[in-house]
Amino acid sequence: MGKKKYQGKVAWITGGGSGIGEAIALELARQGARVAVSGRRIEKLEETVARIQAVGGKGLAVVCDVTDEQQIIDAVDQVVTEWGRLDVALANAGFGVGGPIEKLDADDWRRQFDTNVVGLAITVKHALPELKKVGGRVALMGSVAGTITAPGTIAYNASKFAVRGIGLTLAIELVGTGVSCTTIQPGFVESEIGQVDNQGQFRSDWKDTRPKMIMWSAERAAKVCVDAIWEREREFTFTGHGKLGAFLGKHTPGVVYHAFAGAKRVQSLLGK
């Protein structure tokens, strides 16, 4: 067996206790990395670390709420103190605030942006000094919702459009530093996002209503994400429907508008 891609590397993942973050942590461990996972729920982080160890890797649970800058600073320090370096930082922590604009108040908007945008940016800010020492890799977890819009997800769409803007700008800012930035834009992937309310709290009694037929497993998604980060791709969109949605959002926004507008008109005529 040849050398594993990430052998000797150290990775840190926010939102690493579940879903795609956890799956990427496990895939990185399989490929030789030592992996630190952060989040707010210590029990979920410890479960992820146990799974990392079960595949022969080394893991570290680091409690961190990305809306608290000091906790981000402390998390980076803890990882570097434990393992001496940082090669990969994946800003993955995020959730979705749902509802049309009339039903969202200022706190909903602030909560959405504090996690998905500000928390992501500050995660990168404090990881960069260590990444620059080793020519490392930054990865941002965006979404196809950052290129194609849909009614009822206005705050989430806005936050993921912002993530895409941060990622593409950061890729330019990092030229010459040895650090790359990969903005990841998934379509539907298995995760807890459909069971998190507008306050960012996990609701085990909620059913994920996203379409199962076209949803990728987190494990399948993790494999392609880890490869894209290794290859230092600037922007990586995946799942077939995700690529189609991103293409339509970028190149034919008028088609997207008329499709949703037409559907709303039909609903109105049916009295829904």
Catalytic positions are: 156
Separation of CA 27 from chain center: 15
Beta bridge partners of residue 67, listed in sequence order: none
Q: CA-CA distance, 196 to 94, in Å (whole number)?
A: 10
Position of tokens 């593409």?
168
Give, in order, the Cα–Cα distances in Å from 259 to each of 87, 143, 246: 43, 20, 15
Query: What are the tokens at 137?
Result: 């890799």
CA 125 to chain centre: 16
Do residues 58 and 8 make contact, with C-beta atoms less than 8 angstroms apart?
no
CA–CA distance, 60 with 50 (Å, rounded to integer):
9
Q: Which one-letter amino acid corresponds to residue 99?
A: G
Angstrom distance (rounded) from CA 142 to CA 110 = 18
Helix residue ranges per DSSP H, the chain: 19-30, 42-54, 69-83, 106-113, 120-134, 154-173, 218-230, 240-251, 253-269
For the chain, first and last CA: distance in Å?
Answer: 59
